[in-house]
Structure 1
Amino acid sequence: MEQLKRMALFATVVEKGSMVAAAEALGMTASAVSQQIRKLEDSTRVSLLHRTTRRLTLTEAGAQLYQSCRQIVQLAEQAEQRLAELRDAPVGELRIAAPVGFSGHLLTNALAPLLQAHPQLSLRLFFQDEQIDLIEQRIDLAIRVGSLEDSSLVARYIGDWPMLLCAAPAYLAHCGAIEGPQRLSGLDWLSLGHERAGQLTLHGPGGAVQRLRVEGRVVCNNILSVRQFTLAGMGVSLQPEPEVRELLARGELLNLLPDWQPDPIGLHLVTPRRDAQPAKVRYAIDALRRALLAG
């Protein structure tokens, strides 16, 4: 590394035409510059400069070395410029991981304007409900829901999404009206996760709390599959309200027991580290925070 610094200093001496001018440009003393040039000559065991009282001239070896040194300086300047671009403007490939339920309009609405505004930015999306290794897959940013395990990752809590008890009209026509939480245990449950049985907590009028143990007839590790079984009239499921809002508006799904609310799910934006985030990640965090909170 010291040798690279000496080569850059040597290129500056050549371009400025003297040790004194190079020293002024570099904020050094002329003697310190001369000392570094001498160390470069000692290490290469060739003379690089002819020194006279009036001027410096390059030896043949010095002329050849200068061309290589100048290329090194130019590459360093280009690298610094690229780093500045990454820091100040969204460029390069942005890699985002998210649960499969986000593969619809939510991410499109958030990220399409970002891509349109910054032509040098590209996007790669990874959709899966199982958590992906951010480091191994070089993920810049991940959307995660629910409680998070302790880890070295940095999680930014951005808010909660309400969860709804949902069923298709065809299922209610089969099982009859559901007038209170006590009916829920006997229904066909369509569950997201790996365990067939689980506990459902509902918050009702006047601060009432109802806890039920429910057992899934269909258990999936994919929320879209759970939703499709629900639409097919196979049972009841918990669904994030922003993801099913249009289905509710069209009457394809119904919100059961609107006075009894399941626990919401927390939304987090997760990155491998907090400091020195490139611009593409900072811009994406802002865009996703606005879009996801708006639902």
Structure 2
Amino acid sequence: MDDLKRLALFAEVVRSGSFSAAARRLGVSTSAVSQQLRALEQAHGVTLLHRTTRKLALTDAGARFAAHCQRMVEAAELARAQLALAREAPEGELRVSAPVGFARHLAPALAPLLAAHAALQLRLQVDDAMIDLVDARIDLALRAGRLPDSGWAARRLCDFQSLICAAPAYLAAAGVPHTPADLPAHQWVGAPRDGRTLALSLAGPGGAQSEQTVPVRVTSNNQLSLHQMAASGLGLTLAVRADVEEDLQAGRLVPVLPQWQPPALPVWAVTPQRDGQPAKVRHAIEAIAAHLRGLPGVRDAGAPAPPSTPLSAA
């Protein structure tokens, strides 16, 4: 590494035309420049410069060597410029991971960004399983819910409103629940973490709270499949409003106990590191956050999460 520094110093001496001019540009003393050049010549056993009291003159070997040193310096400057560009302009391949149910929001969120930056490419990995960001070379992962402990950085983008809903045909056959106490008697479609029961925490009118444990008849690890099965009349389901808004508007699903609200679902942008984010990641996070805030039933979450925020796959 010291040798590379001496090569860069030699290139600057040749460009500046003197030790003193090179020393001023580099912010070091003239004697330090002279000592480093002497060390470079001694290390390689070649005289690079003829020194006189009036000027410097390159030897033949020095002239050939200087050309290579100059190209090395130019390559380093180009590399620094590329880093600066990465900080300012979105470019290169952006690798994004998202759960299956969430991926539908990414196309409208990122389409304007991709249209505005022709040098930006997108690789989207859709998977409901938690993946290792470093092993999979993921730049940005979208996650929802409570996140397990991790060394990754998490920024809370927004909160999704949740609701209980069902197909009209199911409610016509099984009856409409009127209180939270009616919920355990119904069939449920869901993704319980353990066994085949789902714990519900509901906030009602006047600050009332209700805790219910309901049996899950139909399970899946895929939220999109759960919504489809609920719309087919297989039972009640706990859903994110933004994900089922089209079904609600079309009448395929209807809210159940709308005055009783499940907890909001936080949405996170997860990255392998917090500092030094390239422009492609910063711009993508802002584009996704802005799009999500425009969806129905979404509340802005405000400030980023602290580094110790525990990281769950949606």
TM range (shorter): over 0.9
Write the mapping of 1:102-117 to structure 2, written as runs, cut at 5 A: 102-104=102-104, 106-117=105-116
Distance 1:182 1:28 in 2: 79
1:87 is matched with: 87
Deviates more, 1:189-198 or 1:225-234: 189-198
1:294 is matched with: 294
1:197 is matched with: 197
TM-score (norm 2): 0.89
Question: Does the CA-based 8 Å contact 1:194-1:219 persist in structure 2?
Answer: no
Runs of 4+ that moved beyond 3 A: none
| Correspondence 1:134 to 2:133 | yes
Question: Does the CA-based 8 Å contact 1:168-1:252 persist in structure 2?
Answer: yes
3-state secondary structure, aligned to 2:124: strand
Distance 2:117 2:111 in 1: 10
2:16 is matched with: 16
1:194 CA drift (Å): 4.4
Task: List per-residue Cα deviations over 1:2-21 (Å, max 9, x = no partner).
Answer: 11010011111112222222
2:31 is matched with: 31
Distance 1:277 1:103 in 2: 22
Q: RMSD over aligned Cα, in angstroms? A: 1.5
2:283 is matched with: 283
3-state secondary structure, aligned to 1:282: helix
Q: How many residues are matched?
A: 294
3-state secondary structure, aligned to 1:35: helix
1:54 is matched with: 54
Question: Does the CA-based 8 Å contact 1:163-1:263 persist in structure 2?
Answer: yes
| Correspondence 1:124 to 2:128 | no
| Correspondence 1:77 to 2:82 | no
Amino acid at match of 2:141: A
Question: Does the CA-based 8 Å contact 2:94-2:139 persist in structure 1?
Answer: yes
Deviates more, 1:222-231 or 1:279-288: 279-288
Question: Does the CA-based 8 Å contact 1:194-1:220 persist in structure 2?
Answer: no
Distance 1:201 1:150 in 2: 23
Distance 1:145 1:293 in 2: 15
1:174 is matched with: 173
Question: Does the CA-based 8 Å contact 1:194-1:221 persist in structure 2?
Answer: no
1:110 CA drift (Å): 1.4
Distance 2:116 2:252 in 1: 36
Distance 2:144 2:93 in 1: 24
Question: Does the CA-based 8 Å contact 2:166-2:237 persist in structure 1?
Answer: yes
Distance 2:191 2:292 in 1: 21
Distance 1:100 1:145 in 2: 12
3-state secondary structure, aligned to 1:80: helix
3-state secondary structure, aligned to 1:100: coil
Structure 2: segments with no counterpart, 5+ residues? 296-314
1:224 CA drift (Å): 0.6
Question: Does the CA-based 8 Å contact 1:90-1:280 persist in structure 2?
Answer: yes
Distance 2:192 2:216 in 1: 10
Task: List per-residue Cα deviations over 1:58-100 (Å, max 9, x = no partner).
Answer: 2222122112211211110111010000111111111221111
Distance 1:261 1:25 in 2: 66
Task: List per-residue Cα deviations over 1:213-238 (Å, max 9, x = no partner).
Answer: 11211111110111111111111111
TM-score (norm 1): 0.95
1:54 CA drift (Å): 2.8
3-state secondary structure, aligned to 2:176: coil
3-state secondary structure, aligned to 1:7: helix
Share of identical aligned residues, percent?
A: 50
Distance 2:207 2:29 in 1: 76
3-state secondary structure, aligned to 1:274: coil
1:181 CA drift (Å): 2.0
Amino acid at match of 1:230: A
Distance 1:274 1:158 in 2: 15
Distance 1:20 1:209 in 2: 79
Structure 1: segments with no counterpart, 5+ residues? none
Amino acid at match of 1:71: R
